[in-house]
Structure 1
């Protein structure tokens, strides 16, 4: 199925994936309710069914489709194998990662250690921290949304043996190239898959345009 004639749709709201330990579920439920009140619908795994193929696929799709990966830091999340896997996947996909410190922990992942944390400890002002989180996730929102949409499109292309029908064309391609030119000044940076997808789309578009131009030239000979 070709999507070449459709402009990449705009997301209605910023989407978040929240990675957490079940020991922090009370805090996560409060955070979820507060975000929903302002129109943000986070992706949260409530089921605790680890290991099933369907569950792992759902987690992956949730991370790929999220504009921001929110990591709840606590001693239990730091020690959680599943939280570790989710974080590594977010890092590999160059997702925007926002750490929330809920409970003091040691042995923090190096990537998280380098980022600015939002303090959501019991002694902190929850509403003030929530406002900071909202401001962070809304920063460069158009750029981040494009990162997400292109990653999804590139994933479809990759998953369908890189068929040309999944490549970008026309206004989609022009918008994607303009987005790519911003990468030096913006975070998160594109992945290699982003870059390969846009490059292959440009190659296919140029090849198509050459064929069309040759056909037009032949008509006037």
Structure 2
């Protein structure tokens, strides 16, 4: 149950060695408290491997698989991650998708490294013969990685549209000035609990609206 909680809640394995968890376990004096190594082994052997087999059995149903991938930085853990998701349509036109890997990227994000990572993931899941097309962003390292891996690839349409929108906004000086002012306003509210409370009060009491927080945009690169 503890191992399942770690997996479902995306907790660190060191969680079981924390003071709060150990105090909680003191309520169960007959329970022998284990360390992080035990739970790491248990999650991999007893939870991950059986689940991975089920996913492999599911992937066999598809003649061809398309993939989406991205590299992103996790602020919580301070690491870069390469993700790969498989998409397939069954004979009865049922669309399914599964995240196959969330790989830590310790090395430089070069095309060669990305290529090796993809080849290893495809080999791990034994789906080389099913690969159809890879949808990726247009970063030069990702494009090069696809070329070296010998994978058919295409740029993400949504990403392309976002880049067009960004270029359009940046071509208008008045829009740049407006968005700069708006970001400063949003930053003020995000860094002040007093300002947030006052904003909520105005929305509810003066405008008779439900409370809504301000949203900081994240430009697409």
Is TM more than 0.5 here? no
Instruction: Work out which of the two has the higher radius of gyration on C-alpha atoms and give 1 or 2.
Output: 2
Query: TM-score, normalized by length of structure 2?
Result: 0.25
Higher relative contact order (CA 8 A, sep 6+): 1
Bigger strand fraction: 2
Query: TM-score, normalized by length of structure 1?
Result: 0.25
